[in-house]
Amino acid sequence: MELSKYLLTDMKQPISYIPQGILTGVVAVMVMYLVWKRRKAESDTKKLAVFFMLFLYGTVLAVQTFFSRTPGTRRSVELGLLGTWGTTWQAHAYVIENVILFLPLGILLPLADRRLAQWKRIFLISAGCSVMIEVLQYITARGYSQLDDVVTNTLGGCLGYIIYKTLIRLKRKK
């Protein structure tokens, strides 16, 4: 029960960024629609919905990992593995939240482009995005760069892909 209390409390912040994500998603989808119209390509409503969700997610991710933090306030590198699990419920919550943070990536990428519907690609993209976030956090001193974050984010992307594959299989059975 203690863990869920921390998780729910910590989730309030990223949820508060959803309006910014919606705005970004709407603008991005409008631009995509106009480009498709100009090229006389047929617009795909499902594809537009997936890209809307990707832009919403990307915005929430960017605000959560960068723009919600004051530049120059956090700079360190922690290369120890599994050190952030710690001994407190709050530390456990942070690790779980890092997994949750990348779940949407593993679900949305294969929906956006079927060529990405392979676990190796999702693994590499999740790891690459996480490394990029950690490096940018270090450069801007907007976050602690931790190997554990890369591992848990990558795990989250892969778990998201498993959810995607499970939903696809369930859809096919119907």
Taking the C-alpha atoms of residue 71 and residue 137, their distance in angstroms, rounded to an integer, is 9
Q: What is the pLDDT of residue 74?
A: 85
**Does pTM top 0.95 for this prediction?**
no
Taking the C-alpha atoms of residue 11 and residue 99, their distance in angstroms, rounded to an integer, is 13
Please report, as a single letter, which amino acid is at residue 46. Answer: K
CA distances from 73 to 14, 38, 83, 97, 141 (A): 20, 45, 21, 21, 6
Q: What is the DSSP letter of 145?
A: E
HSE, side-chain direction, 13 A CA sphere, residue 122: 29
Taking the C-alpha atoms of residue 116 and residue 54, their distance in angstroms, rounded to an integer, is 14
Below-50 pLDDT ranges, the chain? none
Model pLDDT for residues 105-146, shown as the tens digit of each residue: 999 999 999 999 999 999 999 999 999 999 999 999 999 999
Please report, as a single letter, which amino acid is at residue 108. Answer: L
